[in-house]
Structure 1
Amino acid sequence: MAAERIPGRVWIIWAIGVFAYAVAVFHRQSLGVAGIEAGLRLGVGATGLSMLAMLQLLVYAGMQIPVGMLVDRLGSKRMLLIGAGVMACGQLVFAVSGGLLDAIAGRILVGCGDAMTFISVIRLVNVWFPERRNPLIVQLTGLLGQLGAVASAVPLIQGLHHYGWTPTFLTAAAVGGLSLALVAVLLRDARPAEAAERPRLREAWAEPGTRLGMWTHAATQSSSAAFLLLWGYPFLVEGQGLRPATAGVLLTTLTILGMVCGPVLGYLAGRHPFHRSRMVLIVIGSTAMAWTAVLLWPGQAPLWLLAVLVVVLAGNGPGSMIGFDFARTFNPSARIGVATGIVNGGGFTATMSVIAFIGIALDLRGGVGLDAYRWAFAVQYPVWILGAVQVLRYRGKARRLIAKLSEDLEEARDTAEPSRPCASPT
C-alpha cells in the first residue's frame, strides 16, 4: 500500500544501524576464535578463558535495563556512538594486554559497548518503520547482524596466524572506529514527541506485554544459544560420537537455517499479530519434543534425528525476536528502550543459567559420556515449562488489558456530546 511506502533515507538509516550491530557481534565473538592464542598469551587455562567469556556476557546482560533507559533519554544515535567507542577501546586494551587483568578489562569494555548496540538499533526500527513491517525488519536486523559472527571467524584466524596478536586486535579496534564514523556522519535519530517524558522502569515492568516479551525471549532463545555458544559441539562429539567435521556441519547448518527462518517468522508475526503467542508456544513445544526424542533414544541417536534437532533449534533465535515485538506493541515510544532492555536481559539471563547448569550437571555426572550429557541437557525442561506457563499467564493479562481499554474507548465514544464534530471515525 502507498501508506506503507518507506523512503530511501529510512533504509539508509537502518543499514547503518545494522552495520553497527554486525560490528558489535564481530567484537563479541572475537574471543571465541582466539581461544588458543589467548590462553598462550595470557598464561591461563580453560577456567581463565571461561571467566573472560562469562564476565563479558554478565556485563552485557546486567546493563540491558540501564542502557534501555538511557536509549529512551538520549536517543539511538548517541548510544550507538558511545557503544562503538567503548568497544573500540576494549579491543585496543585487549590488543596490548599481556596479562589476565588487562584482558578482563578489555572484555568488560567490549561487553559494555555491545550492550548499548542492539537495543539502540531496535529502537531505530520501532521509530522509522510502519508497525506491520516492524516484525520482519527486526528479524532481518538479527539475521544480518550475524554476518559479524561470520566476519569474526576466518579473517581473525588468518590475522592471528599471519600477523600476530597485537596487529590483529588493533585492526579489530579500527573496525570499531569505522562503525563510529559511519554512525556519526550518516545516521539520523528521530525522537518522537512522547520521548520528552522520562522513561519509567516501573511502568515498563508493570506492562503485561513487556513481561510477555521477556518470558518469550527467555524460553525460546536459551536452548539454541547454549547449544551454539558452548555445549553443542562437545555434546555431538563426546556424547553422540560424531566426527568433529560432522558436528561442525550440523552447527553451521543450525546457523544458516536460523537465518532462513527469521524472515519467514517475522513475516508471519507481522501478518498475524494476534497469533504471535501461539507461534512462541509452538517453538517451545517443538524444541522440548525434539530434545526428548534425542535424550530418550536408546544409545546414541542416529544422524537423521540429530539433524531434526538442529532444524527445530533453528527456530529458537527467530522465535525469541517475537519478544521484542511484544515490547513494541504494548509500550509507548518513550519507554521502548527500557522495555526492550527488560526483554533482552531476561533472554540472556536464561541463556547463562542454562549454560551454567549444564556444566554443573556434567561435573556431577562425571563430565563425559552419553549418560552424563542426557542428565545435563535435561536441565532445560524447567526453563521450557516455566516459560510456557508465564507466556500463557501474561498473554491472558495482556488480552484482558486490551479488552478493558477497548471498553473504555467505546464508553467514551458513547458519552461524547453528539453535537461535537468528529474529525475522523478512527
Structure 2
Amino acid sequence: MRIVVHDMASTVGATVNVGIRRLGRGRRPRNPVRYDVRVNETKNATRLGGPKAYAMWGMGLLGYLFAVVCRSSMSAAGIEAANHFHTTSTALSGFLYLQLFVYALMQVPAGVLLDRFGARALIASGGLLMAAGQSMMAVAPVAWMAVAGRGVVGLGDALVFISVVRLISAWFPARQAPLLTQLTSVTGGLGQIISLYPFAWLLRLTGWRAAFLVSAGTGVLVAAAILLSVRDDPRQSSRHHERPEGGLAAAVRGFGTALRSPGTICGFFVHFSTWFPINMMNQLWGLPFLLAVEGWSRETATAYLGMGVVINMVFGPVMGRLAGVHPIHGRAAVVYASVGAQIALWTVLFLTPGPHPMWFMVLLLVAMTSGGPASNIAMDYVRDTNRPEVLGAATGFANTGGFLSSTVIFLGFGVLLDAQGATDPSLYTDHAMRVAALIQYPLWAVGLVGFTLMLRPTLRLIRARRG
C-alpha cells in the first residue's frame, strides 16, 4: 500500500518505508506498508510564466511605454521646437544628441545598479526622472534649458528597458525570453504612435507648456504604479529587493566579468549596426527628410512613419520566435539580412531622384523597421553567454551600442546640414538632406565588422553552455 501525504507548506520530500511485523509471527510482511511523505512547498512559490509573471511583465511594459513616449516626443515636436526656441539645425540635433548620449553613457552604470537594486526600483526611478525632464522642457525659457531637460529624460530612459528585460529573465522560462523581449520592444513601440498622434494633437491644442506638463504628470503616476505592484523575483515574498552579497563593489567587478564574455561584445555590435537608421527617422530627422526629399505633406509623412510601428508588430514576434528556435544560425541570419537590406535600399534612394514610388518607400520602411527587432537579438546573445548575477551589467553594455551610433547620427546629421547652409527647416533641401543622410555608411561598416569578428567565439561559447 502507498500512502502519499502532501504538506503544501514545505518543499522537502521524504519517503519512509515502514515494515510492520505481523502480530505474533515475528517476521516481515511480504508487502511492507510504504508511507510516502512528500513535503511540497508550492503554496508560496510562483510558477515561471504563470499569470503573476505576465502581470509583472505588464507593469514593466507600462514603464517602458512611457519611456518611449518621452524618448520620441521630439519626433512630433521637432519642427515646433525649432520655431519655439529659434534654433539652428545643429542646436535642434542637440535636443536628441544629449538625450541619447546620456542614455548610452548611463547604460553600464544602470546595469550595475540593476544588479544591485533590482528592476522595480530602477523602472520607478526612471519614470520620475523622465517626468522631471519633461517638466524642464515645458517651462524652459531658452533652448539650452530644454536641451538639459532632454538629458534628464535620457537619464531616466536609460534605466527602464534593461530592467524590463531583467524582469523577463526572472519571471519566465529561458525558452520564452527571446519572444517576450521582442514583444516588449513591439509594445513599447506604441509609444511612437502616441507621440505622433495623441501627443502631437495635444501639443497643437494646448500649446508647448501644457502638453509637456501632462506628459510629466503621467510619468509620476506610472512610477507610483510600478512601486506598488512590481516584484523583482518570484522567489521574493515581498516587494523588497534582496540585494546580492558583496555590495556595489561586487556589482562593479561583475561588469568586468561581463566584458570578458564574447557574447556581450557581440551584442553591442548587433545593437550598434541595426537600430540607428529607424531611430534617426522616428526620433527627429524622418519628418524633415520626407518633406524635403519626397515632397510629401506632413500628414502623409506622419502616417508613413506611424506605419512602421505596425510593421514592427509583425517583425517582432517572428524574429523572437526565430531567435528562440534557431539560436545558432537564425540570429546571425536576421542581423545580416536586416542590415544588408537597409544598406541596399538606402543606396538605391541616394542614386535615384525623388519623389520615389510608394512601393519603394514601403520597402525601405520595412527594411529600416526590421532593425528594431533585429537589435533585440543583442539581448539574446548576452543572456546566453553571461551568468545571471552579471546579466544587468552585460545587458546595459550591449544596449549602449544602438544609442551610441544614434548619438553620432543625430549630431552628425545636423552638423552636415549646417555645413551646407541649411541652418533652419525652411532651408532643408533635397540635396542637403541626402548628403546629411550619408553619415549612416561608416556606422554600418564599423558595426558589421565588429559583429562578424565576435560572432564565432560567441557561438562557440553558446554551444559549450548548451552542452
Q: Give TM-score, length-normalised by structure 2.
A: 0.78
Match of 1:386 in 2: 446
SS of 2:186's partner is helix
CA contact (8 A) 1:195 1:333 kept: no
1:46-69 CA-to-partner distances (Å, cap 9, x unmatched) read: 554432332222211211111111
CA contact (8 A) 2:193 2:306 kept: no
SS of 2:175's partner is coil
SS of 1:136's partner is helix
1:188 is displaced (CA, Å) by 0.6
CA contact (8 A) 2:196 2:306 kept: no
1:109 is displaced (CA, Å) by 2.1
1:375 is displaced (CA, Å) by 4.0
CA contact (8 A) 2:89 2:415 kept: no
Residues 1:30 and 2:73 are matched in the alignment:
yes
- Unmatched 5+ residue regions in structure 2? 1-46, 236-241, 423-427
Q: Give TM-score, length-normalised by structure 1.
A: 0.85
Letter matched to residue 383 of structure 1? L
1:173 is displaced (CA, Å) by 2.0
Match of 1:17 in 2: 60
2:433 and 2:211 mapped to 1: Cα distance? 36
How much is the aligned-residue C-alpha RMSD, in angstroms?
2.8
Larger helix percent = 1
1:146-204 CA-to-partner distances (Å, cap 9, x unmatched) read: 22232234333443444444443332222111111111111011188995462322221
Match of 2:258 in 1: 204
SS of 1:6's partner is coil
Q: Which of 365, 368, 381 pairs up with 1:313?
A: 368
SS of 1:314's partner is helix
1:12 is displaced (CA, Å) by 0.4
Count matched residues: 405
1:288-309 CA-to-partner distances (Å, cap 9, x unmatched) read: 1222222233665333222221
1:252-271 CA-to-partner distances (Å, cap 9, x unmatched) read: 22232122211111111111
CA contact (8 A) 1:300 1:370 kept: no
2:234 and 2:228 mapped to 1: Cα distance? 18
Q: Which of 109, 117, 123 pairs up with 1:80?
A: 123
Residues 1:139 and 2:199 are matched in the alignment:
no
Q: Structure 2 vs 1, CA of residues 300 and 83 (structure 1 numbering), >3 Å: closer, same or farther?
A: closer
SS of 2:361's partner is helix
Larger strand percent = 2
1:282 is displaced (CA, Å) by 1.3
Residues 1:258 and 2:301 are matched in the alignment:
no
Q: Structure 2 vs 1, CA of residues 151 and 231 (structure 1 numbering), >3 Å: closer, same or farther?
A: closer
- Unmatched 5+ residue regions in structure 1? 410-426
The percentage of counterpart residues that share the same residue type is: 36
Q: Which moved more, 1:360-369 or 1:204-213?
A: 360-369
Q: Which of 261, 265, 272 pairs up with 2:326?
A: 272
SS of 1:84's partner is helix
SS of 2:174's partner is coil
CA contact (8 A) 2:267 2:381 kept: yes
Bigger Rg, which one: 2
**Mapping 1:166-245, distance limit 5 Å:** 166-190=209-233, 195-196=244-245, 198-199=250-251, 200-245=254-299
Q: Which moved more, 1:29-38 or 1:252-261?
A: 29-38
1:133 is displaced (CA, Å) by 0.8
1:355 and 1:299 mapped to 2: Cα distance? 23
